[in-house]
Amino acid sequence: MFNANKYSTKELIEMELRDMPYSETKDNIVGFALQLVENEAYYVAEAVAEAILHYKDDENDTQSVQCNMCMWRGDEEELTLEKEEDETFKACPNCKTDAYLMDLPVGGVQCKA
Ligand SMILES: [Zn+2]
């Protein structure tokens, strides 16, 4: 019989996520779910579902950027793709360089939960 007590909360969370390929986001999801279980008394499955949702939302947020050269502001999607030698990079639509681009904070980094 499966005995949940043999496993740590973290291991249980990792088992829930065993189909997800390793990534930084997965790490974050595990950490976030662990917090929910330990601090908010969530069930493991519930915490994992919540954490996945939380980080899915994050991925959909578009990063806002500012060019410190011309003070242009916009979403990352509005940057132009520039090619230099064999490298392609996202650049300011006015200056055609990424040297002055700065990420703007998106609504703080705190969790809404
Ligand atoms: Zn610019």
Distance CA 80, CA 28 (A): 30
- Partners of 73 in the beta sheet? 66
Taking 3-state DSSP, the helix, strand and coil percentages for the chain, each rounded to the nearest 5, stand at 40, 20, 40
Tell me: the pLDDT tens digits for 22-52? 889 999 999 999 999 999 999 999 999 999 9
Q: What is the mean pLDDT of the chain?
A: 87
Q: How far is the CA of 88 from the centre of ligand 1 (A)?
A: 17
Reported pTM: 0.49
What mean pLDDT do residues 86-90 have?
Answer: 91
Q: How far is the CA of 105 from the centre of ligand 1 (A)?
A: 18
What mean pLDDT do residues 81-102 have?
Answer: 94
3-state class (DSSP) for residue 88: strand
Percent of the chain with pLDDT over 70: 84
Tell me: the pLDDT tens digits for 44-73? 999 999 999 888 766 556 788 999 999 999
Q: How far is the CA of 28 from the centre of ligand 1 (A)?
A: 33
Q: How far is the CA of 57 from the centre of ligand 1 (A)?
A: 29
C-alpha angle 75-78-79 in degrees, rounded to nearest 5 = 105
Q: Can you tell me which residue has the tokens 């030698």?
A: 85
Q: How far is the CA of 69 from the centre of ligand 1 (A)?
A: 5
Protein residues placing their CB within 5 Å of the ion ligand 1:
67, 69-70, 72, 92, 94-95
